Amino acid sequence: MSQFAFLQREWTAVFDAAARAETAVHADPRTACFYARRALELAVGWAYKHDASLKLPYQDNLSALIHDPSFKEAAGEAVFSKARVINTLGNRAVHGHRTIPLDDAMVAVRELFHVTYWLARTYGRTARPAPGLAFDAHALPKATPLRGQTAEQLQQLEAGLRERDEKLAALLADKTTLDEELKRLRAEVAAAKQAAAAQPDTHDYSEAQTRDYFIDLLLKEAGWPLDQPRDREFEVADMPNNQGKGFIDYVLWGDDGKPLGLVEAKRTRRDARVGQQQARLYADCLERQFGQRPLIFYSNGYEHWLWDDTRYPPRAVQGFYKKTELELAIQRRSTRKPLATGEINSAIVERYYQTRGIRRIAEAFERDHDRKALVVMATGAGKTRTVIALTDLLMKSNWVKRVLFLADRVALVNQAVNAFKRHLPDASPVNLVTEKDAEGRVFVSTYPTMMGLIDETKDGQRRFGVGHFDLVVIDEAHRSVFQKYRAIFDYFDSLLVGLTATPKDEVDRNTYSLFDLENGVPTDAYGLDEAVRDGYLVPPKAVSVPLKFHREGIKYDELSEEDKDQWDALEWDDEGNVPNRVEAEAVNRWLFNKDTVDKVLEHVMTRGLTVSGGDRLGKTILFARNQHHAEFIAERFNANYPHHKGEFARVITFKTEYAQNLIDNFSARDKTPHIAISVDMLDTGIDIPEVVNLVFFKLVRSKTKFWQMLGRGTRLCPELFGPGKDKEFFCVFDYCQNLEYFSQNIPATEGALGESLGKRLFDARLELLGELDCKRAEERPPKAAESRLPPPGHPESDDEVRAQTAALLQKEVAAMNLDNFVVRPRRRLVEQYARPEAWAVLSHDALSELSRQVAGLPSELDPENEEAKRFDLLILKIQLAMLRSEPSFARLRDQVKELADLLEEKSAIPMVRDQMTLIQDVQTDEWWQDVTVPMLELIRRRLRDLIKLIEKQNRKPIY
């Protein structure tokens, strides 16, 4: 009879896997370890599904599930440690190629017995196992003919089982009737759990066995074989006891025969720190005997402490150092250089606040002996460069050898890797997302990728041991990162530097406590206001919006600190909602309303900051609520602006294929898309200086996330709006009261109120028509034939210029989309002036009406080069000044001469050389003597496409 029979009634799947593990212990230890882990996976999965107090972590793999604080609290340290042992042995069986010894299989099944006993005792609804039930290794089935499985075969089996589990989960998820059944089961499980908690658990979990095995297991994972007599129970003299001697549980030796470390093991039920003084005395003995002081570890199997008493107080660790790591730690006692006098590389950072931040971190590490630092620095102020320069200083000073840089987006990982390669190439930066097996000194990774790599072992040893990294950097340190991924920071015993763009007064107090800092007092801070004053960043300005979703309830800052903690800790769903909040339905109705989306798009397109002389909306990030919302917005944009052919506004999310290619295009100043509709992907870390409009079309709950999103617009961008016209601020369109919610009093702006280059051209051409009509009326009566368009070629008379100018305007009006919501209110006039005959004779009232009602409406003509259009406007101004006998004619004429002079310097370019005679003539006073409108039209046509060839630094903002 199976020793796991107590599972059979309520946990059939767990029982089947456990029974297979039990049967295979003697016959095939590798298979036994595999099925032990499989049974654990099923048991833990069942607990998460049926126990509402267990909160699903960031990933649903076994390691993440058993390390989640809610599981550790429910199961207790003993069961948690046993689960870790089973998971480790199972991973070794599947991914390792060394022979799995019988003892490991025995341990895996023994520990599984205790874990499943806890499961049945805690959650059993029909019958619980007897308190005295014990595991009997002698009762395990003896070896029977069984074909042993290889690691590769078990990997295939594992993949097949996982695929089956996923298919079953998907099938069950589709059956809504199971929701009610799950609620009923959860209620029964909760009652069973409460009843079990009322009775003391007297089961013997064999904690001493687990302790001894777990310490051995962790040491072997760190590469300590423990196969020499001197490795265990090493005798030392001169101990202050009656015998005058002692026996060190474990000594970790260097290749030179000197001790690198020692481990003092205490009983599981005792605090590991009870062994601190005994371990120190052992270190004194070893130092006297060998002339080298070892690092001190003491452990009770569950808790492990490291004490390098030459520099730091004791600290909790997750395991033991490898030999090379211990050697390096001891070497640093003599090779570590002072940070205070170390040189900061000015080629990496040159701004005063970056240098100050590095010095303050160095002071915390060196003078104060701290191991953690938190730096507040506004987005765009150069956090990554600061960290690279800090890394350089620490490496040159022999404080660190290997660095781990963590970010929450693949795009941010790519950016960081590129920055390290550019500024610190000798550190051999490694992108762990794409190069999991590469080696270097700086490793950059996402949090989930690192979580997966921590568990990987090769031939029983972990690649990334607890002492692998000397410095861990968190790119955007805030509460949610620690809630999800704290296991990473607890695992690696390293210096820790956190970066955040959230203003220091708004960083939550839990983040400060995690860095052992006083609330509101980071290691260093450089905020947005300071960066704007110093000229390193540009500020936001809020555009008044015509419609808003009105959020209910009090503002974030009006919550008490305790309420803020509870609010921030709530489990938000993928839509950004707190479950069971009625507000979600109202938000959906508003956000997914066609009229709402159309009005938002119209407002952004007409009031957003523009480039290309005001003819094109500047780079804009629109923050959407979810994937469906983003796609709906894109659908409405394409319906209203079909002439952009689906390229102007694009959805860029984690579900978008080739998203990085779209981001690269969005980052290019003149490439489409110009509107990025994003869900989370562009909220943080994307460095695009050209962004001038941010559209908050979603409710933001997290203050940290709000500041990250706001930071997308802060970067400087020289000459974005033309020669000599830099980006000075960016616009915020907030349609969901996020600014009010987070109490942000951002200065207001009306948005892009200035006339676009296209509208100015339209008006100037209308004025030219009016002046030519007046001149013609004074000279002779008009002829009907003159309303016809002349054949292609150069104009020879004012009439031809007039007709061709009218034709340009008529063509622009005819290309206006009558279904566009901006054009729609002017439909009557647009239809009227889309006809060529409407332009034959224009009264003063008609010209005024066209300027007020039609000029500036979006047209679907192919876009033209901005420099060519600016030159068109310059020539139009000269023509008007000449016709009106205005004094500005001389100044405008000189501007044309200057441009011609600059073009002459480009004579090596064939298209310039073809027009060289005209270019040279225009620079002479004789050419301008008695100049005519057709002559000016001639130079406009011949030179407009050449102006872009003049370098921007030479092209003064004169036209």
Indicate the range of 286-300, 723-737, 740-754, 839-853 predicted with least confidence. 740-754
**Chain mean position to CA 922:** 55
Tell me how far apart the alpha carbons of residues 284 and 239 are, in angstroms, rounded to a whole number. Answer: 9
Q: What is the pLDDT of residues 549-563, one digit of tens each?
A: 655 554 556 555 555
Res 172: pLDDT: 39
DSSP E strands, 645-697: 649-652, 675-678, 691-696
Res 571: pLDDT: 43
Tell me how far apart the alpha carbons of residues 23 and 27 are, in angstroms, rounded to a whole number. Answer: 7
Res 820: pLDDT: 81
pLDDT beyond 60 at 173: no
Q: What is the pLDDT of residues 429-477, one digit of tens each?
A: 999 999 988 899 999 999 989 988 988 877 778 889 999 999 999 988 7
Q: What is the pLDDT of residues 894-908, one digit of tens each?
A: 999 999 999 999 989
Tell me how far apart the alpha carbons of residues 146 and 31 are, in angstroms, rounded to a whole number. Answer: 10
Q: Which of 6-20, 592-606, 791-805 has the highest mean pLDDT?
A: 6-20
* pLDDT band per the 50, 70, 90 thresholds, residue 748: confident
**Chain mean position to CA 18:** 41
Tell me how far apart the alpha carbons of residues 544 and 526 are, in angstroms, rounded to a whole number. Answer: 29
The more confident residue out of 193 and 605 is: 605
Residue 135: partners with Cβ closer than 8 Å, 6 or more residues away: 3, 110, 113, 114, 206
Res 952: pLDDT: 64
Residue 393: partners with Cβ closer than 8 Å, 6 or more residues away: 339, 342, 343, 344, 345, 358, 362
Q: What is the pLDDT of residues 217-247, one digit of tens each?
A: 899 889 999 999 999 999 999 898 888 899 9
pLDDT beyond 70 at 587: no
CB 751 within 8 A of CB 609: yes
Average of per-residue pLDDT across 620-637: 93
Res 556: pLDDT: 54
Could you give the C-alpha distances from 643 to 548, 553, 670, in angstroms and in order? 29, 43, 17
Res 169: pLDDT: 54
What's at 379, amino acid-wise? T
Q: Which of 396, 427, 411, 392 is nearest to 475 (CA)?
A: 411
For 224, counting Cβ atoms within 10 Å of its Cβ (0-12 exposed, 13-18 middle, 19+ buried), the class is buried
CB 512 within 8 A of CB 522: yes
Name the DSSP letter for residue 537.
B
Res 933: pLDDT: 93
What's at 407, amino acid-wise? A
Res 955: pLDDT: 53
pLDDT beyond 60 at 320: yes
pLDDT beyond 60 at 621: yes
DSSP E strands, 126-255: 232-237, 245-253
Q: What is the mean pLDDT of the chain?
A: 86
**SS percent in the chain: helix, strand, coil, step 5:** 50, 10, 40
Name the DSSP letter for residue 697.
-
**Structure token digits, residue 110:** 């023994």
The pTM assigned to this predicted structure is 0.75
- Quote the percentage of the chain above a pLDDT of 90: 54
Res 191: pLDDT: 82
Spatial strand order of the sheet with 430-431 comes to: 430-431, 442-446, 403-407, 471-475, 495-500, 372-377, 524-526
Res 794: pLDDT: 60
Specify the residue for token string 């001469």: 897
Q: What is the pLDDT of residues 696-713, one digit of tens each?
A: 998 887 777 888 899 999
Res 149: pLDDT: 67
Indicate the range of 234-243, 512-521, 526-535, 585-594 predicted with least confidence. 585-594
The answer to whether the Cα torsion of 398, 401, 406, 409 is positive or negative is positive
Res 160: pLDDT: 66
Could you give the C-alpha distances from 388 to 383, 395, 418, 422, 423, in angstroms and in order? 9, 10, 11, 10, 7
* pLDDT band per the 50, 70, 90 thresholds, residue 350: very high
Tell me how far apart the alpha carbons of residues 442 and 428 are, in angstroms, rounded to a whole number. Answer: 6
Could you give the C-alpha distances from 718 to 611, 663, 668, 728, in angstroms and in order? 12, 21, 14, 9
The more confident residue out of 951 and 423 is: 423
pLDDT beyond 70 at 728: yes
Residue 108: partners with Cβ closer than 8 Å, 6 or more residues away: 21, 32, 33, 36, 37, 85, 86, 89, 90
Q: What is the pLDDT of residues 657-679, one digit of tens each?
A: 888 899 999 999 889 999 999 98
* pLDDT band per the 50, 70, 90 thresholds, residue 951: confident
User: What pairing do the DSSP bridges indicate for beta strands 619-623 and 691-696?
Assistant: parallel
Res 573: pLDDT: 43
- Quote the percentage of the chain above a pLDDT of 70: 88
Res 572: pLDDT: 44
Res 266: pLDDT: 79
